[in-house]
Amino acid sequence: MPKISGSEAVIKCLINEGIEIIYGYPGGAIMPVYDELFKYQDKIHHVLTRHEQGASHAAQGFARISGKVGVAIATSGPGATNLVTGLADAQIDSTPMICITGQVSSKLLGSDAFQETDIIGISTPITKWNYQITNASEIPEIFAKAFYIAKSGRPGPVLIDITKDAQFELFDFSYSKINGIRSYNPIPDINNNKIKEAAKLINQAKKPLIVWGQGIILGNAEKELINLVDKTGIPAAWTILGASAIPTEHPLNVGMLGMHGNYAPNIKTNECDVLIAIGMRFDDRVTGDVTRYAKQAQIIHFEIDPAEVNKNIEVDIAVLGNAKQTLKEVIKYVHVNSHKNWLKEFSDLYQVEFNKVINAEINPTKKGLTMGEVIKQINEFTKGNAAIVSDVGQHQMVACRYANFKISKSNITSGGLGTMGFALPAALGAKMAAPNREVVAIIGDGGYQMTIQELGTVFQTKAAVKIVVLNNDFLGMVRQWQQLFFEKRYASTEMVNPDFVKIAEGYYIKAKRVNKRDELASAIEEMIKSKEPYFLEVVVEKEANVFPMIPTGSSVSEIRLS
């Protein structure tokens, strides 16, 4: 076989792994790889984003909706460091992603050469694995390992840094995928005794509660979760990254947990006798004050990552393994049951929340438009089949609370890191991964302007993303805290915004602005029916707050309705 360059080997590795779309931005230290990309345009479609952070978030959106590995590529120095936010976001949200960065020649490493940055040192805490390639012969093995590590077990991001001389070097190329690495055990063996102990506890429970997270979606365990819920009759609540694993309308889906979650599941967390946590990591936004979290309950934790067990909350039974397999096993031992009286307690509390919060949000009588009614109208025209990609802030909480989901992998948002600017590029990546699905980005006016340049990428790709900016002229979530806890000292949170419609039109994207209720439905209908990218700005109430709310440091029992 003829020898090939390291840069061509990079492309051949991606092709061998089935990669068809990558997101990136060229530069000097990665130019040899881009030269090979030019030759392989018929096999790999490169999307030129307007910023490397946009490339990383687009790769995340691609991965989150498809379940495949997303790929982003950048040059050395500032190109590499601009990927850092996306890497950190993917790490904490368990998103499978490969980031490829160019690096100065190996003889210049450590010399503070032009555009040299120690991206390996920088990214070590925020990647599942990283590696610097200085010899072309390393490329096939490192790429095979990278893809295996990124997508196996609990997924995560991997960064590969390649020196420029390694990209030019010639070598004999061959590629083999791998399905194992010595000392790396991504899926723990199932302990059948723990399965039986968990089933026994579930069968004895009088007031059980299931809380599920993204581990259900990452493990493709949606069917198994529904089977468990249906068989046992146990009410089930979700974290924001777990949303859509069970359809919104399922009778045992009792809503969202956490700081701005639903009233009933938060209150009942501290009243249940058995708490069954599946594929979630007891994040502080879910638990509130951990010293007062579910102290009355026996806790079962179904988890793939042993490091998460007893990290935040001490549990009584840990069932390790992929949720799809562990749930299949536990279903064999649990009894058919119903908990009608217990469920009625949830429905009674939902009615309290509906009367005090929800009805006013989705059926408002006041003059100003609410975020909730916008989401309600989107539900009307998408029938729960759309993928909702949200940024971070008040609009995120409202979107997660009120969006209807019929299909899994439909709620794509920045969970653990809380990255403003996530939604626009992530929605682009999601739409390119699932072109036949409706993808609607819900964004606040603050986060939108952090990655607004990606409108250029939307325009160039013609990806029919629907972009909805809920504009309250504030950094709304911070302002809400300032109102409630800092005596309305609105320090640096009021926004003086540009003409968003003109900006969108400058990118040749159809755009509209709505500030009246009687214009809203028709504007959303027009947006959803469009076969092209569409931007809709909705001017909402300036100082509206999102409730319910658990103040920081409070117990989930102290959730406030106003």
Of 136, 171, 206, which residue sits at a domain end?
Answer: 171
Set 151, 164, 194, 466: catalytic member: 164
Task: Say which CATH number the domain at 15 has.
Answer: 3.40.50.970
To the nearest 10 degrees (0 to 180), the angle between helices 371-382 and 517-529 is 40
Q: Give the contacts of 190 (CB within 8 A, at least 6 positions apart).
A: 319, 320, 321, 325, 326, 329
State which residues form the domain around 303: 192-346
Count up the domains in the chain and report the number.
3
Here the tokens at position 446 are 């603050």
Q: What is the mean pLDDT of residues 389-397?
A: 98
**Does residue 418 share a domain with residue 373?**
yes
Set 3, 38, 107, 114: catalytic member: 114
Closest CA to 459 of 422, 427, 423, 505: 505
Give the up-direction half-sphere exposure of residue 71: CA atoms within 13 A in the CB hemisphere: 21
**Does residue 507 share a domain with residue 411?**
yes
The partner residues of 132 in beta bridges, in order of sequence, read 161
CA gap 314, 241 in Å, rounded: 22
**Does residue 465 share a domain with residue 413?**
yes
**Does residue 131 share a domain with residue 50?**
yes
pLDDT score, position 475: 97
**Does residue 204 share a domain with residue 111?**
no
pLDDT score, position 366: 85
For the question of residue 115 being annotated catalytic, the response is yes
CA gap 310, 212 in Å, rounded: 17
Query: Would 404 be classed as within a structural domain?
Result: yes
Query: Would 298 be classed as within a structural domain?
Result: yes
pLDDT surpasses 80 at 97: yes
pLDDT score, position 157: 99
Of 311, 346, 381, which residue sits at a domain end?
Answer: 346
Q: Kindly report, residue by residue over 224-250, the tens digit of the pLDDT.
A: 999 999 999 999 999 999 999 999 999
pLDDT surpasses 80 at 338: yes
Set 371, 477, 527, 549: catalytic member: 477
**Does residue 228 share a domain with residue 370?**
no
Beta carbons of 52 and 79 less than 8 angstroms apart: yes
Q: Kindly report, residue by residue over 33-88, the tens digit of the pLDDT.
A: 999 999 999 999 999 999 999 999 999 999 999 999 999 999 999 999 999 999 99
CA gap 177, 496 in Å, rounded: 52
Beta carbons of 352 and 270 less than 8 angstroms apart: no
**Does residue 527 share a domain with residue 491?**
yes
Task: Say which CATH number the domain at 279 has.
Answer: 3.40.50.1220
Query: Would 234 be classed as within a structural domain?
Result: yes
For the question of residue 114 being annotated catalytic, the response is yes
Q: Give the contacts of 336 (CB within 8 A, at least 6 positions apart).
A: 231, 232, 233
Nearest-5° angle of CA 48, CA 54, CA 58? Answer: 85
Give DSSP secondary structure letters for 353-417.
Answer: HIIIIIHHHHS--SSS--HHHHHHHHHHHHTT-SEEEE-SSHHHHHHHHH---SSSS-EEE--SS
**Does residue 340 share a domain with residue 380?**
no
Q: Give the contacts of 41 (CB within 8 A, at least 6 positions apart).
A: none
| DSSP-assigned letter for residue 94 | T
CA gap 226, 412 in Å, rounded: 21
Query: Would 385 be classed as within a structural domain?
Result: yes
**Does residue 97 share a domain with residue 10?**
yes
pLDDT score, position 2: 84
CA gap 64, 240 in Å, rounded: 13
Q: What is the mean pLDDT of residues 527-556?
A: 97
CA gap 9, 27 in Å, rounded: 19
pLDDT band per the 50, 70, 90 thresholds, residue 210:
very high
Q: Kindly report, residue by residue over 140-189, the tens digit of the pLDDT.
A: 999 999 999 999 999 999 999 999 999 999 999 999 999 999 999 999 99
**Does residue 223 share a domain with residue 135?**
no
Beta carbons of 408 and 212 less than 8 angstroms apart: no
- The rounded Cα 101 to chain-centroid distance in angstroms is 23
| DSSP-assigned letter for residue 307 | G
**Do the strands 253-256 and 274-278 form a parallel or antiparallel pair, or are they unpaired?**
unpaired
**Does residue 252 share a domain with residue 323?**
yes
Query: Would 484 be classed as within a structural domain?
Result: yes
Q: Give the contacts of 428 (CB within 8 A, at least 6 positions apart).
A: 47, 54, 58, 61, 454, 457, 458, 461, 463, 465
User: Which helix (H) or strand (E) segment is 525 a member of?
Assistant: helix 517-529
Query: Would 550 be classed as within a structural domain?
Result: no
Query: Would 551 be classed as within a structural domain?
Result: no
To the nearest 10 degrees (0 to 180), the angle between helices 6-16 and 139-151 is 30
Set 115, 298, 325, 460: catalytic member: 115
For the question of residue 495 being annotated catalytic, the response is no
Here the tokens at position 224 are 């198994």
Q: What is the mean pLDDT of residues 343-354?
A: 98
Q: What is the mean pLDDT of residues 313-329?
A: 98
Q: Kindly report, residue by residue over 273-312, the tens digit of the pLDDT.
A: 999 999 999 999 999 999 999 999 999 999 999 999 999 9
Query: Would 274 be classed as within a structural domain?
Result: yes
Q: Kindly report, residue by residue over 430-467, the tens digit of the pLDDT.
A: 999 999 999 999 999 999 999 999 999 999 999 999 99
Set 8, 17, 52, 224: catalytic member: 52
Preceding amide of 125 cis, omega within 30 = no
**Does residue 310 share a domain with residue 197?**
yes
For the question of residue 145 being annotated catalytic, the response is no
Model pTM?
A: 0.97
Here the tokens at position 425 are 């590029």
For the question of residue 477 being annotated catalytic, the response is yes
Q: Give the contacts of 473 (CB within 8 A, at least 6 positions apart).
A: 445, 494, 495, 496, 497, 542
Average pLDDT over the chain, rounded to an integer: 97
